[in-house]
Amino acid sequence: MSAGLAACLGLSACSGLIYRPEVVQGNFVSREQVQALRVGMPRQAVRDILGTPLVTSLFHADRWDYAFTIRRQGSEPQQRRFSVFFKNDMLDRVEGDPLPTEAEFAARLDSRRPPAKLPELKATEADLAKFPAKPASAAGAVQPAAPAGPVTYPPLEAVR
């Protein structure tokens, strides 16, 4: 009984060390991409800018839906939805959540804390005097010899 209890306590203590992978689903659409869209663009031009839509439906052939979700350990999940509508195979209108710029999105991904104040790395003359200088003869004593003639190497493939 006590061994089982110890195992349960040991596993619960390690639960904070479990790696939870980042989950990214869908297409990220940035504000810059939406600003590049123009009413009257053909479907292929919209696909070139936004990428392949996550959802297309036979019942809603004139609507493409782009959804994006990211879940990261230690941060709030992000969800965005964006739809484009076509009329006669030309872009008619767009609807969706407010979209971040690429820079704003990248800044939200980096959840690392800024480093604490770094110590100043500066040595005074007194600090440097604590270390003896190397003798001049030791600095250039050993020089590798240059090869006497051309260097040859064995063939890479066996000779037949």
Is residue 91 domain-resident?
yes
- Residues 57 and 64: their CA atoms lie apart, in Å, by 8
Structural domain harbouring 45: 19-108
Number of folded domains in the chain?
1
Summarised one tens digit per residue, pLDDT across range 36-56 is 999 999 999 999 999 988 877
Beta bridge partners of 56: 64
Is residue 49 domain-resident?
yes
Sign of the torsion formed by the C-alpha atoms of 127, 129, 131 and 135: positive
> Across 3-17, 25-39, 127-141, which has the greatest mean pLDDT?
25-39
- Residues 111 and 92: their CA atoms lie apart, in Å, by 38
47: CATH: 3.30.1450.10
Tell me the pLDDT band of 5, cut-offs 50, 70 and 90.
low
SS3 78: strand
Is residue 100 domain-resident?
yes
pTM beyond 0.85: the answer is: no
Between residues 15 and 53, which one has the greater pLDDT? 53
SS3 135: coil
- Return the structure tokens found at 71: 């879940």
Where does residue 112 rank: exposed (0-12), middle (13-18), buried (19+ CB within 10 A)?
exposed
Beta bridge partners of 26: 68
